[in-house]
Amino acid sequence: MGQISMRRTAAHLWTAVAMVMACATGQAGAADAYPSKPVRVIVPFPAGSSPDIVARYLAGKLAERMGQPFVVDNRAGAGGMLGAEAVAKAPPDGHTMFFMVNSIVTMNQFIYKKLPYDPVKDFAPVSIVAAVPYVLIANKDFPHRTLAQLIAAARAKPASIDYASMGVGGAGHVIMELMTSLAGVRLTHVPYKSGALVDVIGGQVPLIFQPTTTAIEQVKAGTVIPLGTTGTKRLPALPDTPAIAEVVPGFEADGWQGVEVPAGTPAPIIARLNKEIAAVLALPETKTRFDALGIQARSTSPAEMAGVIAADIDKWGGVIRRAKIAFD
C-alpha cells in the first residue's frame, strides 16, 4: 500500500508540474503573440502636459517596434486619480498601459481621504521611463531675479509672496512645501484646477514649479525667468540656473514618469514591455529628444521601479504629513 500511495503521490506531483509547465508555456506563447490588438495608453493628464508629451513619443516608438497601435487616452482630473482608476479596473492582459507620474502612487494616498485605487496593489510596475526635474519659474517682471533674493524677501515678509500650483497636493505644491520648510520661509499657496502657468506668464501670480518639459519652452520664449532646478546638479539645458540645493542645502525633488499595467498582467508580457521600452530609451533619437525637453531617460527593471516607489512613499509621505497637506 505504501508503494502504491507513493506512486500515486508522485503521479499527482508530476501532474501538477505538468500543469504549471503548460501554464508557463501558455503565458510565454501569449507574450510572443502580444500585442494582439491596439494598446490603450492611459495618461492621467491633459494633452500637451509633460507626461503626455513623453507618452506620445514612447507610444509611437512602441507601435513601430511591436506592430500594433499604442493609442494615448488622456484621462485628466482629480490629481491623476481618474486615469489611475481606469487602469486599475482594466483587464490585466497588457492591452492597457498606465503612463504615470510618481505623485499618483507615492503622494495621493497621504493627501486624499479615500482613493478609488490601491497605489501599490492595483498596479504592476514595468519600467521608469524618465527622470523629470522641475524648474521654479517666475513671471518675467518678478522683482526678485534669483532664488537667494526670493528667499531673503520671503524671510523679511513671511507669506507676502504668492505661488501657483496645479492643485492642493499636486507635485508643485508638495515640492514647494519641501523647499520652503528647508529654507525656513513661508509663501502663500494659490491652487489652480487649470491655467496656472498661463496666469504666471500673465503676471497674476508670480511663481510656479513646472516640469522641464514645459518650463524650458517658456524660458526660451522669454515669458518667464528660471530661479532654480530641483535636481542636485544644474541642467545642461539651463546651465546658468542654479540647482536649488546650491541655495537650500539638502533639497532634492526630481520627479519621474513611468509605465505600469493592471495587477495580474502575466509576467512574460511585463517582461516583453520592459524589454521594448528599454530598447526605445536606448535610441540616440530618444536622447536627443529628451535632452531638448530637459529630461533624462531612465530605464529600470520592474523590481527596481517597485523599490523607487517604496522609497518615494516614505520620503513624500513624511513631507506631506509635516506640512499637513490634505484635500477635503
Domain locations along the chain: 37-131+254-323, 134-247
Return the C-alpha cell found at 98. 498606465
The pLDDT of residue 27: 52
243 backbone dihedrals φ, ψ, rounded to 5° = -65, 140
Return the C-alpha cell found at 37. 490588438
Amino acid, res. 162: D
Residue 232 has pLDDT above 60, yes or no: yes
Residue 22 has pLDDT above 60, yes or no: no
pLDDT 10s digits, 154-210: 999 999 999 999 888 888 999 999 999 999 999 999 999 888 999 999 999 999 999
CA distances (Å), origin 261, targets 39, 123, 199, 239: 11, 6, 35, 37
Amino acid, res. 21: M
Nearest-CA neighbor of 129 among 64, 193, 73, 62? Answer: 62
Cα separation, 323 vs 294, whole angstroms? 29
Cα separation, 166 vs 64, whole angstroms? 34
For residue 135, what are the β-bridge partners?
210, 229
Residue 11 has pLDDT above 60, yes or no: no
Nearest-CA neighbor of 212 among 131, 129, 134? Answer: 134
Mean pLDDT rounded to a whole number for the chain: 89
Q: Are 37-131+254-323 and 134-247 equal in CATH topology? A: yes
pLDDT 10s digits, 277-327: 999 999 999 999 998 888 999 999 999 999 999 999 999 999 999 888 887
CA distances (Å), origin 82, targets 22, 54, 115: 38, 19, 10
Residue 328 has pLDDT above 80, yes or no: no
Nearest-CA neighbor of 118 among 105, 127, 101? Answer: 105
CATH 3.40.190.10 holds for 134-247: yes
Give me the CATH code for the 37-131+254-323 domain, please: 3.40.190.150
pLDDT mean over 83-98: 97
Cα separation, 103 vs 315, whole angstroms? 11
What is the model's pTM? 0.82
